[in-house]
């Protein structure tokens, strides 16, 4: 069963928290607070030349933090990861950034493991929506330090 990932509230909506969730035989969610997103965006605007990849870069970091505890199992069980297409035209860049984070963590996950598609109405969407509405508690709140280490 593939792991499906969906996001509730886009990164660029800096007045609201972003939730990224996954589901298959397990479920997990992380929350990126509006304040931390604003700080990361401001830093990236000051220090990065390519302004178009700011939001995809933060999304890739969030994906890595979400997938972190699952990566060994994904590798061992040869699972596939399907990420909802959130930033059209940037799938390859997001995938490259995510794979780089995974490899830097010492895990040799093949790039063919990760796909982008419209996941639609799936459990991951339901989990992200429930966390967004306060009906579920996220598994992890991303810290400023965690996010900044990955986006720099």
- At 112-143, the pLDDT tens digits run 999 999 987 789 999 999 999 999 999 999 99
Q: Are residues 63 and 55 in contact, defined by beta-carbon separation less than 8 angstroms?
A: no
Distance CA 62, CA 56 (A): 10
Return the SS3 of 87: coil
Q: What is the mean pLDDT of the chain?
A: 94
For residue 98, what are its two tokens? Answer: 């995510």
Distance CA 90, CA 17 (A): 22
Residue 61: how many CA atoms within 13 Å on its side-chain side?
Answer: 25
For residue 12, what are its two tokens? Answer: 């660029």
Residue-wise pLDDT for 24-65, tens only, equals 888 999 999 999 999 999 999 998 778 899 999 999 999 999
Which pLDDT value is given to residue 26?
A: 87
Q: Are residues 28 and 68 in contact, defined by beta-carbon separation less than 8 angstroms?
A: no
Q: Percentage of the chain surpassing pLDDT 90?
A: 86
**Number of H helices and number of E strands within the chain?**
6, 6
């Amino acid at each position: 069963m593939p792991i499906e990932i969906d996001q509730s509230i886009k990164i660029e909506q800096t007045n609201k928290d972003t939730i990224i969730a996954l589901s298959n035989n397990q479920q997990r969610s992380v929350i990126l607070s509006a304040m931390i997103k604003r700080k990361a965006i401001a830093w990236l605007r000051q220090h990065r030349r390519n302004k178009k990849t700011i939001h995809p870069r933060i999304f890739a970091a969030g994906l890595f933090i979400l997938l972190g505890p699952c990566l060994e199992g994904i590798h061992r069980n040869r699972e596939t990861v399907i990420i909802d297409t959130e930033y059209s035209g940037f799938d390859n860049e997001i995938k490259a950034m995510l794979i780089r984070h995974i490899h830097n963590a010492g895990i040799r996950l093949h790039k063919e493991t990760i796909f982008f598609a419209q996941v639609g109405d799936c459990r991951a969407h339901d989990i992200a929506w429930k966390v967004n509405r306060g009906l579920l508690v996220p598994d992890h709140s991303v810290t400023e330090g965690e996010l900044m280490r990955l986006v720099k």
